[in-house]
Chain A
Amino acid sequence: MVPLDYYLVLSAMIFAIGAIGVLVRRNLIVVLMSVELMLNAVNLTFIAFSRYLGSMQGQVVVVFVMAVAAAEAVIGLAIIISVFRHRRSLDPQEMQLLKW
C-alpha cells in the first residue's frame, strides 16, 4: 500500500503548480485551469485521508467540491467569453479599471 505521505506530497506539488499558475499566467483561461488544478489537489488530499482514516466523510466532501468546481468552470468560462467579446484580450493585467 502506498503510504499517506506520497499522496500528500503529490497533492502539495499539484497545489503549488496550480497556485503559481493562478498568480503568474497572463491568460484567464489558463488561470481558470490552474484553479481546477488546485481544487483537484485538495480533492486528492481528502481522498487520501479518507482511505487512511477509513472514513467516508472525505469522499462526500470531494463529491461536493466536484459539483462546485463544475459550476465554477461554467460560470468562469461564461465570464471569460463575455470579457473577451468586450476587450479582445484575456490578459488579467489589462483589467484594472477599478484601480484608484
Chain B
Amino acid sequence: MVTPTQAVTAVDFLRWMPLIPLLASLINIFLGSRLGKRTAGGLACAAVLASFAIAVYVFWLLPATGVFQDTVYTWFESGSFRIKLSFQVDALSAVMLLVVTGIGFLIHIYSLGYMAHDEGIIRFFVYLNLFIFFMLLLVMGDNLLVLFVGWEGVGLCSYLLIGFWYHDHNNTIAGNKAFIVNRIGDFGFLLGILLLVTELARQGVWTLDFMELQQHVNLLSPEKIALITLLLFVGATGKSAQIPLFVWLPDAMAGPTPVSALIHAATMVTAGAYMTARLHFLFSLAPEILSLIAIIGAATAFFAATVALTQNDIKRVLAYSTVSQLGYMFLALGIGAYSAAIFHLFTHAFFKACLFLGSGSVIHALDGEQDMRKMGGLRSRLPITYSTYLIATLAIAGVPFTAGFFSKDLILWQTYSSPHGSTGLWLIAWVTAGLTALYMFRQVFMVFHGNSRVDEHVKAHIHESPPVMTIPLVILALGSIFAGWLGAPEYLWGSRWDQWLGPIFGGAHEGAHGSLAEEINLTLMTLGISGLGFVLAYVAYARPSQLRDRLAALAGGAPYRLLLHKYYIDELYDFVVVRPFTYFSRWLAQVFDPGVIDGLVNAVARGAKGFSLVWREVQTGNVQHYLVGFLVGTLALLTYFLGQQ
C-alpha cells in the first residue's frame, strides 16, 4: 500500500493542550472549595479556552499534508520496543481537536449557568476538565497505547459524570452499566492491540506508533488483520454505542445534560469512529470486516431511529438519535468513506450538542421535568431555545443548506455509489433519514407546539435561560447551519473538506463513481422521505387529529409495545447475560468459595494436623529413648559400611 509522504515537524507546544485542562482540574480538586464556585468554574472554562486557542493556532499553522509532533518523554523501553509519550497532530486530529476543545468550551460555558445552583459544581468542573484532558490524549496520542490511555480515561470520566448525582441509586446503576458495557468493548480493543503488537513482533517490528504501523502493516497476513480489526471494532462498538453494545448510552442520560451533550453526543462516543479512521490503513486491508462495520452501522442507525419514535423522555429520544447518527458514521467508515464519516462526526457534534443543550434549557425551565407528555406550547415562553432547537432539528433532519444535509447526503451518496457500498445499505440509510425527520419533528411538536400540558405548579415560573446558556446555544445553532458548508457536493461549490482530509486517507479513500444526475436524484429522494417524515409528524403531533387517535388506538398494539420497550434488548441482556452471571457469582460466593476453596485449604491444614498427631508421638522427651535411636542409627550405619567392604 502506498503511504502518503507526510512532512513531520517537531514542535513543543502541543503538550500544553491536554496539560492545561489537567492542571485546572488538579487546582480545582485541591483548592476548588477555597476558590469558590464562580472562580472554579471560570478557571475550568479558561483552561478549555486556552486549549481551544492552541488548537486554532495549530490548525492555522498546519498544512494539509503536514504532521506536528511533540515528544514529551520515553514512557518505557524494553529491548527494541519503545513507547513514547508523544503527541501528534495531522489533518484528522486537528479536526477532532477543534471539535473537542471548541464545543467543549461552549458546553463548559453553558454548564456555568446550568449547574449554577448545584452543590457539586466544583466537582463537576473537575470531572469535565479531566474529561477534556483524556479526550485530547485520545485524539493526539501518536501511538495506540497513548490513545488507549485516553480511551480508558474518557470511559472513567463518563462513568463519574453519569453517576454525578449519586444520591439517586438509579444514576449510579446507569453509571455502572455504562462502565461495565464499555469494559467489554475495551477488553476487545486491548486484545486487538496486543495481537497487533505480537504479530508485528513476529515479523521483527516492535511498534505501536501510527506512522510506523502504516509502514509495516503489509507484513501482516490477511487473516491476522481481519482478527485484529474485528477486535478493535469490538472496542469501537462499546465506546460508540453500536449494536450489540449500545445499551449503555440511553441509560447514560441519567447524568447532567451538559454531560450528555459533551460526552454522549459530541465527543467521547465518536472516539470509536475516530479510532477506525485513524487506523484506516489497517481496516482497509480487511474488506470483510469493513462490510461487517457497514452492516452494523446501517442496522444500528435504523434500529435506534425506530426506538426513538416511541420514547417520551426528551433526552432519551436524543440518545437514540445519537446512536442512530453514530450508525451513519460507521456505515460511512464501513464503505471506506472515512472522510465522509469524519465530516458527519463534525457536523453532528454541532447540531446534537445544540439539541442536547436545548433540551437542557427546557428541562431547566421546567424544573427538571423530562417527560415530553408534560410539555407542549413552550414556543412562546422559550423563544431562543425554540429557535435554536428548531435550527438544529432542521440540520439533523437534513433540510437543504444545513449542516446535516451536506454530511448525511454525502454518506448516502457514497453508500449508493461507492464500490464497497450497496443499494441495500443505501435503502436502510434512506428509510432511516425519513425516520430521523419523523422522530425529531415529533419531539419539536410535542415540546414546543400545541397546547401546554405542563403541571400547574411548574407553569408559574417557566423562564427563558440566562444568556450564559443561550449564547452557546446560538453559536451551536449557527454551527449547525454553516459547519456543513465546508463539505458541499461538487454540483454546488465543491468540498474544501475532501481537500483537507484527502491526503490523510490517501489511497484508502475511494471516490464515488456516479453521474451528477444520479447524485441529484438521490438527494431529491432523500429530501422526499425526510419531507414525508415531517408531514407525518406534523399531522400526528402538531394538532389533535384523527390520525393521532388512530395511533393512540394502535398504541396497545404489539409493534408499538415492542418499540416502546426498545425491542426488549435490555430485558434480553438481563436474561441472557446479567442474570446467569449474577446467579453464577452468587453460587461461587455462597457454595463454591466456602465449600471448595475454603474446603481445600482446611483439608490441607487438617491433613498436616493428623499427620503430626501420629508422628509427634516419637518425640517422647525422654533422653534415653533418643539415645536408643542414636545407638541404633550408629550401629546401622556401621553395619552398612562394614558390609560394603
Contact = CB atoms under 8 A, between A and B. Distances in A.
23 contacts: A19-B631, A22-B624, A22-B627, A23-B627, A23-B628, A23-B631, A24-B624, A92-B622, A93-B622, A93-B624, A95-B621, A95-B623, A96-B620, A96-B621, A96-B622, A97-B621, A98-B621, A99-B619, A99-B620, A99-B621, A100-B616, A100-B619, A100-B621
A92 B628 CA distance: 14
A99 B623 CA distance: 10
B597 to A, nearest CB: 31
Interface string B411-453: 0000000000000000000000000000000000000000000
Interface string B161-177: 00000000000000000
A50 B616 CA distance: 46
Nearest to B616: A100
A92 B623 contact: yes
A23 B623 CA distance: 9
Given A19-B631, A23-B631, A92 B624 contact: yes
Interface residues of A, number: 12
A24 B624 CA distance: 7
B159 to A, nearest CB: 57
A22 B623 CA distance: 10
A90 to B, nearest CB: 12
A93 B616 CA distance: 17
Contacts of A97: 621
Nearest to B617: A100
Nearest to B612: A100
Nearest to A96: B621
Contacts of B621: 95-100
A54 B616 CA distance: 51
Given A23-B631, A98-B621, 16 more contacts: A19-B631, A23-B624, A23-B627, A23-B628, A24-B624, A92-B622, A92-B623, A93-B622, A93-B624, A95-B621, A95-B623, A96-B621, A97-B621, A99-B619, A99-B620, A100-B616
Nearest 3 A/B pairs, CB to CB: A99-B621, A96-B621, A100-B616
Interface of A: 19, 22-24, 92-93, 95-100
A42 B513 CA distance: 114
Contacts of B622: 92-93, 96
Nearest to A97: B621
B84 to A, nearest CB: 63
A99 B620 CA distance: 6
Contacts of B627: 22-23
A19 B621 CA distance: 19
Contacts of A96: 620-622
Contacts of B624: 22-24, 92-93
A100 B416 CA distance: 89
Contacts of B620: 96, 99
A16 to B, nearest CB: 11
Contacts of B623: 92, 95
A95 B621 CA distance: 7
A18 B202 CA distance: 78
Interface in B574-631: 616, 619-624, 627-628, 631
B43 to A, nearest CB: 71
B401 to A, nearest CB: 96
Contacts of B628: 23
B635 to A, nearest CB: 10
A45 to B, nearest CB: 15
A97 B627 CA distance: 17
Interface centre among B622, B623, B631 (most CB of A within 10 A): B623
A23 B634 CA distance: 15
Contacts of A19: 631
A33 B627 CA distance: 16
Contacts of A99: 619-621
A23 to B, nearest CB: 5
Contacts of A100: 616, 619, 621
B633 to A, nearest CB: 13
Contacts of A92: 622-624
A45 B616 CA distance: 39
Nearest to A25: B624
A24 B623 CA distance: 11
Contacts of A98: 621
B497 to A, nearest CB: 87
A53 B279 CA distance: 97
Interface in B368-412: none
B621 to A, nearest CB: 3
Q: Which of B619, B624, B628 has the most chain A CB within a 10 Å cutoff?
A: B624
Nearest to A26: B624
A93 B620 CA distance: 9
A73 B624 CA distance: 19
B482 to A, nearest CB: 91
B154 to A, nearest CB: 63
A22 B622 CA distance: 12
A98 B625 CA distance: 14
B53 to A, nearest CB: 80
A24 B622 CA distance: 11
A23 B622 CA distance: 10
A9 B628 CA distance: 22
